[in-house]
Structure 1
Amino acid sequence: MVPVPIPGTGVSPFTGLPGRLGPVLAVKIDNVQAARPHTGVEVADLVYVEQVEAGQSRILAVYSSRLPSKIGPVRSARESDLELLRQFGKPLLAYSGSQTALKPLIKKAPVFALPPEAAPGAFTRDRNRFAPHNLYLNPLKAQAAAPKSDGAKDIGFRFGPPPSGGTAVNQHTVRFPAATFNFTWSGKRRQWMISMDGKAYRTPAGIPIGTPTVVVQNVNVHPSRFKDRWGSVSPYTETVGKGTATVLRNGRSFKANWSRPNAQATTTFTTLAGKPMNFTPGQVWVLLTAH
C-alpha cells in the first residue's frame, strides 16, 4: 500500500527516521485468522501486540509519520490500551466499540476516543468480508475528527548502532496462549520477516511484511474485572513497572531491561550493562508477553 503523501520535517521519535511529527493515531486491529490479511499495518510507526480473551492476540498500531489510505479491520478497545497510551500524551484512539462497563474509563482517559458512532464518515464496511472482521478506518478523516490530538513526542525509544555482544539467531518464536508469532531474519531485506500462526504475514496484495526491530517485552498479565459478551475474562496487560525484554535486530538477539515508573513516564530499554538499548531505525514491533 502506498502511504498518503504528507509533507513534514523532523526525525520521528517512534522510528528514528525522517518524517512528519504528526498527530498520534492509535488503531485497535483485529488479529484472529479471519481478520487477515490486515490493511495498513505495514505503514505504522509502532505495532503493539497484546493478549485478549481466550488467549488470542490483538494489535494496537500507532501512526504519526505516515498514513495509509485505509486501516483495518478495526475492533474493540481494552482497558490495557488506556494505560499503554498515556505515554503518548493525548492521542487519537480509533476502535469499533468496547464493553459498556469500560466506557466511563475511556471517557476519563486522556485520549480522543473515536468509535464509529463518533465519526461515522471515517469508517466503512467491506462487503467482501464477513462481520465483525470488515470494519475499516480512513485515517485522514479520523484525524480531522480530532484536530487537537497530540503530536509525536519522545516515548523513550533510542535508535542507533547495536550494542556489542548478543547472540546470532535466524528466527525467534513468541507464543501467546492461543496465538504464535515467528520472526525470521532476512539478511537481504535487513528485516525480521513475520509469520502468524504458521502463515507468512502479508499485505492484501501478497507482499511479505517484515520489521527491522522486534521487542519482546515481558510484563505482568492478569485477569481484569471485565468480561466479553461470551463471559471470557479480559486480561489486563501492565505496561507500568519494570522487567526484562528480548530485542531482535541485525540478525542478533539481545537481553535487555525495561522501565516505566508511572503511566505518564516514557518506557526506556537498556542493555544488561545499563546503557541505552538502541533499536534499528524503522518500524518497531513490541510484543507484550506474560512473564
Structure 2
Amino acid sequence: MTACTGSEAPTATPTATVEPSAAAVDAPAPLAIAPLRGTIVPAGKTANPSLAVKIDNHEAARPQIALERADIVFEELVEGGLTRYVGVWQSDIPDAIGPVRSIRPMDPDIITPFGGIVAYSGGQQVFVDMMKATPVINSVFDYDTTGLFSRVADRDAPHNVVLKAAELVGRNASVAPPVQQFAYAGTIAASSAGTDGSPITQINARFSSARYPGWSWDAASQAYLRSQEGAPDLDTTGARRAATNVLVLRVDIDGTYGEVPKTVMIGSGEGWVSAGGKTVHAAWSKAGQADPIRLVDDNGVTIRLAAGNTWIELVPNGTGSVELVP
C-alpha cells in the first residue's frame, strides 16, 4: 500500500460581512420649527427664551444695532409723533442690541404673550410698574448693577445704551421658550397672502408727519425693503432692512397718559398682511394681555404668514394712514 505524502491546499476561511448597527450610523440632527419665524432650525435653537427689547428710532439712534436679526418687530407711536420699536429675538440672539430706550404703556400688552425677558432703559414709574406686574423677566438699565448695559462712545446720549443680549439670555437659559404667536406656511407661495392676496408692490404707512415708513417689494430677494421718511432704512453694515412678512394693523390711541400715547392692543381692528408681493385684507383681534394677536381673512379663516421674519406697523386710526400701491 502506497501512502500519499503530498500536502493539501489550505482552505480559505470565509469572511463575514458586518452591517453597521443602527447605533453606529449618524442620525440626522433633530429639527424644530422656530416659534417666532416658522422656519426649520436645529432643535437647540428653539430651547432659549425670547428677548424683547425697547429700541430707539430717533434719527440719532440710527442705524440700530442688530434690529435686522429680530424675529418680530413692532413699530409703535410715542410722544411727539415719533415712533419706537419693540424687537423680539429668539431664533438668533445677537451679542449686542441697541440703542435701548424706555418703556411705554402699551408695551406690557405687546410683550406679555412672548413671556421670556424684556430689556429697557427705564421710564415713567407708572409704566415701569405696569411692565413689572407681568410674568415677563424685567432687565432695566436704570437698576442694572451687573454690567449688562453700557453706554457706547460713538453715539450721543440718550441714544447710546447697548445691551449684552446673549449674556442676558444665557443668564436666563432655564426660562421657557415662547409659544408660537402666528400660523405659518412653509413657503411664501403657500402663505395666505401668496395664495389669496392681490399684487401690491408698495406699502406706505403714516404714523404722523414725522414718521412714515414704507415697504417696497423686491422680487430678486423675495423680501420687502424698508424706507423711513422716503430714505432707505439701513443697518450697521449698510444693507437695507428687509422683511418676509409686513403686517399693518390699524389701532386706536388711548389718551389717558397725556402726551404719551397708548396704542390700544386689547381689542380688534382692520389690517393687511403682505408676503411675496401680495397683500390680503385682515381683521386682527387680541382678547387679553397674555393672548397673542389673532389674524383672520374676510372669510374668518386664520391667516398663515410666510416662514421668515415679520414687521408689524401699528398705525393709529384717525391721524395715521395706509396706502397700498399695486
Amino acid paired to 1:11? I
Task: Provide the TM-score with structure 1 as the length reference.
Answer: 0.90
**C-alpha offsets along residues 105-127 of structure 1, whole Å, 9 cap, x if unaligned?**
23322221101223541112210
- CA shift digits 1:35-64 (9 cap, x unpaired): 100110111110111111111100000011
What corresponds to 2:214 in structure 1? 182
Q: TM-score, normalised by structure 2?
A: 0.81
Q: CA contact under 8 A between 2:271 and 2:284: conserved in structure 1?
A: yes
Find the residue that maps to 2:256 and give its secondary structure.
strand
| 1:224 corresponds to | 256
1:50-92: CA deviation from partner (whole Å, max 9, x where unpaired): 111111100000011111221111100112110112212x321
- Residues 1:98 and 2:127 aligned together: no
Shift of 1:170: 1.4
For 2:59 and 2:86, the matched residues in 1 are separated by: 16
Structure having the higher Rg: 2
Q: 1:8, CA displacement in angstroms?
A: 8.2
CA 1:148–1:80 in 2, change beyond 3 Å: closer, same or farther? farther
Match of 1:12 in 2: 34
What's the CA shift for 1:215? Answer: 0.1
Residue 205 of structure 1: which of 234, 237, 240 is its match?
A: 237
CA drift of 1:152 comes to 1.9
Residue segments in structure 2 that go unaligned for 5+ positions in a row: 1-28, 318-326
1:97 to partner: Cα distance? 0.8
Contact 2:255 2:262 in 1 (8 A): yes
Q: Distance in 1 between matches of 2:225 and 2:120?
A: 27
Alignment map for 1:79-98 (pairs within 5 Å): 79-88=105-114, 90-98=115-123
Give RMSD over aligned pairs: 1.8
Q: 2:275 aligns with which of 249, 252, 256?
A: 249
CA distance in 2, matches of 1:165, 1:30: 35
- Deviation at residue 250 of structure 1 after TM alignment: 0.8
Residue 12 of structure 2 aligns with which residue?
none
* Aligned equivalents of 1:32, 1:238: Cα separation in 2: 22
- Classify 1:290/1:258 alpha carbon distance in 2 versus 1 (closer, same or farther; 3 Å): same
Q: What pairs up with 1:1-291 in 2 under 5 angstroms?
A: 9-19=31-41, 20-21=45-46, 22-88=48-114, 90-116=115-141, 117-160=143-186, 161-163=190-192, 164-177=195-208, 178-225=210-257, 233-291=259-317
CA contact (8 A) 1:119 1:142 kept: no
Task: Name the SS of the counterpart of 1:259 in structure 2.
Answer: strand
1:106-158 deviation per Cα after TM superposition (whole angstroms, max 9, x unaligned): 33222211012235411122101100111111112212444454312122333
- Secondary structure, aligned partner of 2:40: coil
Shift of residue 23 of structure 1?
0.5
Q: Match for 2:37: what amino acid?
A: T
Following superposition, the deviation at residue 208 of structure 1 comes to: 1.4
* AA of the residue aligned to 1:142: L
Alignment match, 2:13? none
| CA–CA distance in structure 2, aligned partners of residues 157 and 126 of structure 1 | 39
Q: Partner amino acid for 2:78?
A: V
How many matched pairs?
278
Question: Distance between the aligned counterparts of 1:18 and 1:151, measured in 2?
Answer: 16
Q: How many Å separate the matches in 2 of 1:34 and 1:214?
A: 25
Q: Kindly indicate whether the alpha-carbon contact (under 8 Å) linking 2:103 and 2:128 is maintained by their aligned counterparts in 1.
A: no
Partner SS for 1:158: strand
Amino acid at match of 1:189: S
Q: Is the 8 A contact 1:112 1:149 kept in 2?
A: no
Taking a change above 3 Å as real, the CA distance of residues 65 and 198 of structure 1, as seen in their structure-2 partners, is same
